Amino acid sequence: MDAVLTVFAKKMEMQRYSPATIKTYRNNIRVFVNYFIPANPTDLTDEQLQEFIYVMVNERSISQEYQKSLLGAIKLFYNLCFNRNIRIEHLYPKRKESKLPVVFSTAEVKSILDGTTNLKHKAILSTIYGCGLRISELLHLRIADVDSKRMILTIRAGKGKKDREVMLSPKLLELLREYYKEYRPTNFMFEGQGGGAYTARSVQNLLKQAMYRAQISKDASIHTLRHSFATHLLEAGTDLRFIQELLGHSHIKTTTLYTHVSSVAKSKIPSPLDLL
């Protein structure tokens, strides 16, 4: 199986899939192949593929997002490795889940950052929140992407292979300069101990540690800082179109999700209790 997964990964690399997608799809196919051991994937019928998805959805209760990810990986796997075009479009979920993102309050973000005494960790968390970055964008951020004259941070090849620019906070610039003087990164802005890019797991762990110190028990991830960036901008009166550009969303519909978690409009609605 390792040999097959290696071939699959190499073919995805040649088609310029992102490292994150390659890792996710490799893991998905490992789950898929393990389910049918000792059967060979080339011998599986469309009916068996459908049965696999049925079990994952109804017995293992996977999420809609994971279901779509599994199906995407399986379809690409057969196409690239066996030149077989399988028809599984009918197995995609028809109803979209409507889950609101978890968001930190501004007080919680301040508590997280103030309680982070390690300069590098504080710079990482501040950059994600201050610029609304995805974790992959932070990990690939380079020193040359910081333009202190224009006060702009350039995000290169973000989701969808699109470049974009975001504002560079004076407070963040000062913090990054302090961090640079102490750690002296050579290429990536945030490098691991042995050089090269910092790892996603390390970033997730340092947020968990910061949340523990701040006594915040929300079911949050590093992406929660990005959600909080967007929500807090909206609550401060920033136009939704600008937020869309800063986040790198292709469609405004994606950005409007934050109107559902923003407290601005809701706070102005009188409770019927106050009308008694």
Residues with active-site annotation: 134, 159, 223, 226, 249, 258
Judge whether 132 and 238 are in contact, CB under 8 Å: no
Judge whether 92 and 49 are in contact, CB under 8 Å: no
Q: How far apart are CA 132 and CA 265, in angstroms?
A: 22
Judge whether 123 and 221 are in contact, CB under 8 Å: no
Residue 13 CB contacts under 8 Å (≥ 6 apart), including other chains: 22
**Pairing mode, if any, of strands 152-155 and 164-167?**
antiparallel
CA distances from 271 to 20, 78, 266, 268 (A): 45, 56, 10, 9
Task: Calculate the CA 57 to chain-centre distance.
Answer: 23
Q: How far apart are CA 77 and CA 5, in angstroms?
A: 9
